[in-house]
Chain A
Amino acid sequence: MASLPDAEQLCERLARELAARVGPSCAMIGIHTGGAWVAERLHAALGLKEPLGLLDIAFYRDDYTKQGLAKDPKRSKIPFAVEGKDLLLVDDVLHTGRTVRAAINELFDYGRPASIVLVVLAERDGRQLPICAQHAGARIEVPAGMRLRLKRDDQGRLRLEFVHAA
């Protein structure tokens, strides 16, 4: 199995890439849980004026009728007005695109942003919706039967790893 890139370095690279995008109406939103970890890093590195927003898309998932409510839904916290903002929407891994679809739907229940840019630490194949990331730290081939996961250790360091798909 190919070795995975270092997640901390990917965060740094993304932060450098995003620096050019940051304007006065820019604000960041991380998707629970992995996306929020990445967003914390990027938000600190970019020094954005607005506090970081956190989104849990549990109430907007499209598989509720099959799967029920997610195990541990968190409270979405968006501590700024979404209306008119240029949003950087951050997730850890872009796979089917369904999480991003749900996140965009939820964001529009807070207001009408001027724009949304999708930023992901890593993207893989398997898209089921016409969604693509404007900024991706890496493109990673995922072996059949495996999933790509972001983990955070006790020291708070981020690490990508393959886990067996459930």
Chain B
Amino acid sequence: MQRNPQLNEHGELQHLLSIEGLPREILLKILDTAESFAGVTERDIKKVPLLRGKSVFNLFFEGSTRTRTTFEIAAKRLSADVINLNVAVSSTSKGESLLDTVANLSAMQADIFVVRHGSSGAPYLVARHVKPHEHVINAGDGRHAHPTQGLLDLYTIRHYKKDFGALTVAIVGDVLHSRVARSLIHGLTTLGVPEVRVIGPQTLIPAGAAALGVRVCHSMREGLKGADVVVMLRLQNERMSGALLPSAQEFNKHYGMTAEKLALAKADAIVMHPGPMNRGVEIDSAVADGPHSVILPQVTFGIAVRMAVMSMVAGGG
């Protein structure tokens, strides 16, 4: 059997490439470790010396502000040195290959590569070619995975709902293009959430969704009923090609989250969104800024989760 490329020979986390295929114990250890780091982020001095002398390269082949910034803050709070490369506008545009870029950074003594790439699988390719002491963290690859976002979503859910074992989680919107949804679904099923639903128009739900262990719903009325957690996805305008949707307005009418539709979920339901939000498209301001919203706490938790992942991969799990 081929070894899981994310784990070392002792079964410890070596790279974080995808939530899919990670054992439950590792997911729980990441969440528990993040919980300890959350304590650090509440102090006046929000820094611990764990990664002193290590270099973290943020390698973003695709634009991002929030994810890159939270990785940078997480690395700095671990005392690592952080180098941000906006590769989209540098070497690649001069024709350098992905592996050549990585080899050059490796020659500059990198320890961790945080990679975002438009092509699914790019971080796997990097992970196969780095040296044994170098670690790769996937910060989003194509439509495939965004494991740290999935992990911070899991952290947020556990923070507010404590136990995964009795939850109904509804994921709403453009599931087809969403690496966030894919990562979260794998996490939720691994941690034993009994009911995961995806809600969206047929054109935005991947064909094999049911095989992931989720219930596919095409109406909000059906999908939101009794939900403890509602995860809104961004309508990915820039990924939308062809006639998947009549219009953003039409989408909003049927699948946009309003206070009225949210009333279908449980009274204490939480509403999450990975950002950036399209207000008035997939989510109304009354919900985004309302009492059920935990969208900004998600961002804060994301720092502790990324600290946990970096300290676990760099410390051999």
Q: Hey, which bits of chain A sit against chain B, CB under 8 A? A: 56, 58-60, 64-65, 67-69, 72-77, 105-106, 109-111
Contacts and interface: CB of A to CB of B under 8 A. Distances in A.
B36 A110 contact: no
Contact of B315 (A67, A106, A110): A67
Contact of B36 (A56, A65, A68, A111): A56
A59 B44 CA distance: 16
B38 A75 contact: yes
A110 B38 CA distance: 15
Contacts of A76: 36, 39-40
A105 B45 CA distance: 12
Contact of B45 (A65, A68, A110): A110
A109 B43 contact: yes
A74 B50 CA distance: 15
Given A64-B50, A105-B49, A109-B45, A58 B36 contact: yes
Interface in B22-79: 32-33, 35-40, 43-45, 47-50
Interface of B: 12, 32-33, 35-40, 43-45, 47-50, 311-312, 315-317
Contact of A59 (B32, B48, B317): B48
A111 B50 CA distance: 19
Contacts of B317: 68-69
A-B pairs, top 10 by smallest CB distance, nearest first, are: A68-B315, A59-B48, A75-B39, A68-B316, A109-B45, A73-B36, A69-B315, A75-B36, A69-B311, A59-B50
Between A67, A74, A109, A110, the greatest number of chain B beta carbons within 10 A of the residue's beta carbon is seen for A109
A61 B40 CA distance: 15
Nearest to B315: A68
Interface of A is mostly: loop
Given A58-B36, A68-B317, A72-B32, A111 B44 contact: yes
Between A65, A72, A76, A111, the greatest number of chain B beta carbons within 10 A of the residue's beta carbon is seen for A65
A4 to B, nearest CB: 32
B39 A110 contact: no
B43 A69 contact: no
Contacts of B36: 56, 58-59, 73-76
B92 to A, nearest CB: 33
B85 to A, nearest CB: 25
A124 B67 CA distance: 48
A39 to B, nearest CB: 18
Contacts of A106: 48
Nearest to B33: A73
Contacts of A111: 44
Contacts of A65: 315
